Structure 1
Amino acid sequence: MVTTDGIDFALFVDADPISFEEASKEKKWRSAMNQEIDAIERNKTWELTELPKGKSVLGVKWVYKTKLHSNGEVDKNKARLVVKGYKQKFGVDYEEIFAPVTRLETVRLLLSLAA
């Protein structure tokens, strides 16, 4: 903590990593990435498939964020795997993306409520 005019400020020496290479050097970020992959597999968010002919691949990247408690202490390190949507090209792969995110349980629930 640094005190200026009676106000305490927390200094962050460790900034959140911006690249996989940077994050993979620290155990806390490797653990956060493993937790994200485990959640993706557990929730069956996506599955690997063959790329349809004529379709292009959109890559993914990791986003890292340190979550803090209200008092400024570290709560947890969070890693998210996100798609690089900015790589899309209008008229090529802009309007259609193969990225199903709805879970089957959600569809069943909505159908049962509608029935």
Structure 2
Amino acid sequence: MQEKLKLSKLQGASTPAELKRLQNVPYASAIGFIMYVVRCTCPDVAFAQNVISRFQQNPGDIHWTTVKNILKYLRNTKDMFLVYGGDKNQELRVSCYTVAGYLTNNDDLKS
């Protein structure tokens, strides 16, 4: 997901024309596909999938654009994977670091 992208329920479709246009957008199908990919092959997209899933009831243009960007990321990284090297006789040790930002729901200010 793009850094500093703030998604909110207020960005959903608000006019009748926008609602009608977004009814033809396969938003839920795209979310389902991303959920499948997260489960099977790309856990690195899990956070973005979690955030965009919150807006299935009333997505707006920014939500659909975000879904398309995630799909582009998946398409462009389909040939990339992790390779663990080193001595096969030694135990694999993986260290992981992250920067946690727990305030992810801008609508009710909860994580």
More helix by share: 2
Query: If the TM-score is normalised by the length of the shorter chain, which range does it land in?
Result: under 0.3
More strand by share: 1
Q: TM-score, normalised by structure 1?
A: 0.24
Q: Which has the higher contact order (CA 8 A, sep 6+)?
A: 2
User: For the pair shown, which has the larger CA radius of gyration, 1 or 2?
Assistant: 1
Q: TM-score, normalised by structure 2?
A: 0.24
